[in-house]
Amino acid sequence: MNRQIPIEMRGHLRFSSKRYGTTTRGLPLEVWLPSSGETDLLIFAAIHGEETETTALLSKALRSIESTPERCAVVLSANPDGALLGTRGNARGVELNRNFPASNWQEAPVKTRWSPAGERVAFSTGEKPGSEPETQGLMNLMKHLNPETTISLHAPLGCIDDPKDSPLGNWIAEQSGLKMVREIGYPTPGSFGSWCAENDFHVITYELPGQSVSELQSTHLPILIDLLLGCSDCLNL
């Protein structure tokens, strides 16, 4: 049975990933696949490259367990180019979470907050829906794994967005103390969530609050570890 390991042994990942695609700049898109070959849950982080706290926290969870999760797949960064460049979009400046070929995709650039003062910066949504290799890689991975549920880690809105109001979404909300919502509260054309809804995939958006990794760890790391381990309280609801 998979279990947690002593903290002093959590300095590196002891099991191997598989490449599921390649970024714009040629970096590997990596997934840690479940040992059973069956995927109940996929957790991925940092489709927005500037949200690196999601990668750090998910990495800590993956490094905390003895072996590869039995029924959970993990992507530590869905946008490694953006993470290295410190930008929300990919290396071409495309907002990947507005590039999915959902019926609500729009050609016009999208604007996101630049600073707490309210300035906004524009990002491309791509030359066409699904134009980016990172988008294509994630879609192909979803179709290959066909997870029962996918959890997309984001920050810093501090809520659990679950359109299906599922038992798992409510469990995460209860454990984290974050508000459960059924929609994020603003339009998300061409988003991963929009594409999932149209392709019958269940996705929960786990929006971490705006805190440092050290501050987030006490509440959210145990939740992520439980999800990786397939705890009976969360995955068998």
pLDDT at 59: 98
pLDDT at 231: 62
pLDDT-derived band of residue 174, with 50, 70 and 90 as boundaries? very high
- The rounded percent of the chain whose pLDDT value lies above 70 is 96
Catalytic residue among 51, 53, 95, 207: 207
Report how far apart, in Å, the C-alpha atoms of 142 and of each of 6, 11, 62 are.
33, 29, 20
Q: Output the pLDDT for position 186.
A: 77
Instruction: Compute the Cα dihedral for 199, 48, 96, 111 and give only its sign.
Output: positive
The span from the CA of 215 to the CA of 53, in Å, is 11
- The tens digit of pLDDT for each residue in 1-26 reads 578 999 999 999 999 999 999 999 99
pLDDT digits (tens, 9 = 90+) for 70-110: 999 999 999 999 999 999 999 999 999 999 999 999 999 99
The verdict on whether 174 is a catalytic residue reads no
